[in-house]
Amino acid sequence: IVGLKCFFLFVNNVNWKDIAGLDHLINELRETVILPIQKRELFADSRLTQPPKGVLLHGPPGCGKTLIAKATAKEANMSFINLDVSLLTDKWYGETQKLAAAVFSLAVKLQPCIVFIDEIESFLRTRTAHDHEATAMMKTQFMSLWDGLITDNTCNVIIMGATNRPQDLDKAIQRRMPATFHVPMPNLQQREHILQLILKSEPTADDIDYARLASSTDGFSGSDLHELCRQAAVYRVRDLAREELQREQSKTNNTNSDSDEEYCDAVR
User: Which stretches of the chain bind ligand ATP, using CB under 6 A?
Assistant: 19-22, 61-67, 118, 162, 164, 194, 197, 222-223, 226
Closest separation in Å from C-beta 46 to ligand ATP:
34
Closest separation in Å from C-beta 263 to ligand ATP:
57
Tell me how far CA of residue 220 lies from CA of 197, 214, 225, in angstroms: 15, 9, 6
Closest separation in Å from C-beta 87 to ligand ATP:
17
The residue (of 14 and 145) whose beta carbon lies closer to ligand ATP is: 14
Q: What's the half-sphere exposure (Cβ side, CA atoms, 13 Å) at 107?
A: 29
The residue (of 104 and 220) whose beta carbon lies closer to ligand ATP is: 220
Q: How far apart are CA 48 and CA 43, in angstroms?
A: 9
The residue (of 61 and 178) whose beta carbon lies closer to ligand ATP is: 61
Other beta carbons less than 10 A from residue 175's beta carbon: 9
Q: What Rg value do the Cα atoms of the chain yield, rounded?
A: 26
- Asked if residue 18 lies in contact with residue 139, where contact means CB atoms within 8 angstroms, the answer is no
Residue 219 amino acid letter: G
Closest separation in Å from C-beta 193 to ligand ATP:
8
The residue (of 17 and 47) whose beta carbon lies closer to ligand ATP is: 17
Q: Where are the beta strands (DSSP E) in the chain?
A: 7-9, 54-58, 79-83, 113-118, 157-163, 179-182
- Asked if residue 177 lies in contact with residue 56, where contact means CB atoms within 8 angstroms, the answer is yes
The residue (of 96 and 190) whose beta carbon lies closer to ligand ATP is: 190
- Residue whose C-beta lies closest to ligand ATP: 222
Closest separation in Å from C-beta 64 to ligand ATP:
3
